[in-house]
Amino acid sequence: MKRFSKLLSIGGTCLILLLGVTSQAHADTPLLQRTSSYSVLSPPTVSSTFINQVLASYHSPAAGKGQALFGDGVKYGVDPVFALAFFMHESSFGTTGVAQFTLSLGNLRCIPVYSCIDGFASFPTWEAGFDAWYSLIRDVYVYKWNLSTVEQIIPTYAPASDHNNVAAYINTVEGAVDTWRGGQIAEFGSVSQASTFSSAQPVVPSAAATPYPADYYSILGKPSVDGAFINQVLTQYHSPAAGKGQLFFEEGVKYGIDPIYALAFFMRDSIFGIQGLALVTHSLGPLPTPTTVTCHCQDFQGYRSYASWDESIADWFQYMHDYYVQQRGLTTVSQIVSVYLRTKDTSAIDFTIKEIEHRVDLWRKAQAQTPST
């Protein structure tokens, strides 16, 4: 989630809002050409029942709150299909990042009338978070700034100057709106693309869990990408870990793990640190506590949090080596993902396996075509 802070004055009350953005679309995905203006000011184009179906399909902790999301849309004159699209883009409907704890549809920065968690406004209920988001869109973007369409709102909501992929963000929101107005639940082909994190405190995967059979993608091996290639990928996505390619490479060599897999998991978990919990924890992946004596990390809501990306990268490789490879005897993507996700949802597991392995294939091909220096 790319973020920017803006001091907003609403009814005489100053609100410091940090508006989050996720990019489910890849950085190289072109913006589809659309003819509609996608104005957020509209009567509802989806029902409360349909909203509940979407939230339930993505295992949202806000499932069952469709009437509240719908009712607030009517109250503020904003089509709730847009609130639903932003909610998906911000936190996969409350299943990832700080939204799991703050109950915030839009990951707003601290607001005086609400409590704060690590700089983010924390709401007592999902309903309160919905209302705050609708109020922001109508009272500030529409009434104050005269911005009423997706194309107008997002460049300010997530400016390119803050390294946001504005085109991809617009494309994703409008694509979701089109899909849902067409009566379909899943925007990306499968609801399994939604994160599998729950709002409960994370735990180390149970040793009793039955992993998938091994496949042909073993994480063990020599590096199939070099440090320079890793840096190119991180830079392309404006990752806060850009420049750490050599460290990825060296830690991979140290633990006998091909760093291309660390890169693939990093992309899957937080799009290289630009969204979700990684913004707070500087974590390459959502590794659970308890911490270890060798981990230079702290506890944050049940996950490991680091002072630097260097510490996070080193700990990820060690954790994968010590826990998955040595302790569990799991060495392939299929085996690891089936435990790593901590879910029984086989569609989510299958999708993530394919997602990681497809990305590995693409990068290996790209590395092979890169001229040697």
CB-based contacts of 303-306 (< 8 A; 24+ apart in sequence)? 303/202, 303/277, 305/280, 305/281, 306/281, 306/282
Which pLDDT value is given to residue 196? 27
Which pLDDT value is given to residue 10? 32
Sequence letter at residue 73: G
Which pLDDT value is given to residue 259? 97
pLDDT at 193 over 60: no
> Strand, coil or helix: what is 115?
strand
* 81-95, 124-138, 238-252, 283-297: the lowest-pLDDT one: 283-297
**Mean pLDDT (whole number) for 337-342:** 84
pLDDT at 262 over 80: yes
**Mean pLDDT (whole number) for 244-249:** 97
Which pLDDT value is given to residue 185? 61
* pLDDT band per the 50, 70, 90 thresholds, residue 25: very low
pLDDT at 338 over 70: yes
The residue ranking higher by pLDDT, 57 or 104, is 104
Which pLDDT value is given to residue 225? 96
Which pLDDT value is given to residue 116? 85
**Mean pLDDT (whole number) for 160-167:** 76
Give me the architecture of the 227-368 domain, per CATH: Orthogonal Bundle (1.10)
Q: CA 347, CA 338: separation in Å to the nearest integer?
A: 11
Which pLDDT value is given to residue 12? 32
Q: CA 321, CA 245: separation in Å to the nearest integer?
A: 19
pLDDT at 231 over 90: yes
- pLDDT one-digit tens code per residue, 103-132: 999 888 788 888 888 778 899 999 999 999
Which pLDDT value is given to residue 245? 96
Which pLDDT value is given to residue 205? 43
The reply to whether 5-190 and 227-368 are identical in fold is yes
Q: CA 118, CA 346: separation in Å to the nearest integer?
A: 34
Sequence letter at residue 277: L
CB-based contacts of 239-245 (< 8 A; 24+ apart in sequence)? 239/272, 239/273, 239/274, 240/272, 240/273, 240/274, 240/282, 240/309, 241/266, 241/272, 241/273, 241/284, 241/309, 241/313, 244/309, 244/310, 244/313
pLDDT at 281 over 90: no
Q: CA 256, CA 278: separation in Å to the nearest integer?
A: 25
Is the pTM higher than 0.95? The answer reads: no
Q: What is the mean pLDDT of the chain?
A: 79
* pLDDT band per the 50, 70, 90 thresholds, residue 276: low
* pLDDT band per the 50, 70, 90 thresholds, residue 190: very low
**Mean pLDDT (whole number) for 218-225:** 96
H helix or E strand, kind and range, residue 13: strand 13-18
The residue assigned the tokens 């968690």 is 117
Which pLDDT value is given to residue 179? 84
- Interhelix angle for 309-319 vs 259-270, to 10°? 110
Which pLDDT value is given to residue 57? 84
Q: What's the fold here for domain 5-190?
A: Lysozyme (1.10.530)
* 158-172, 301-315, 316-330: the lowest-pLDDT one: 158-172
- pLDDT one-digit tens code per residue, 92-103: 899 888 888 899
CA angle 268-29-282, nearest 5°?
30
* 100-109, 128-137, 329-338: the lowest-pLDDT one: 100-109
Domain ranges of the chain: 5-190, 227-368
* pLDDT band per the 50, 70, 90 thresholds, residue 188: very low
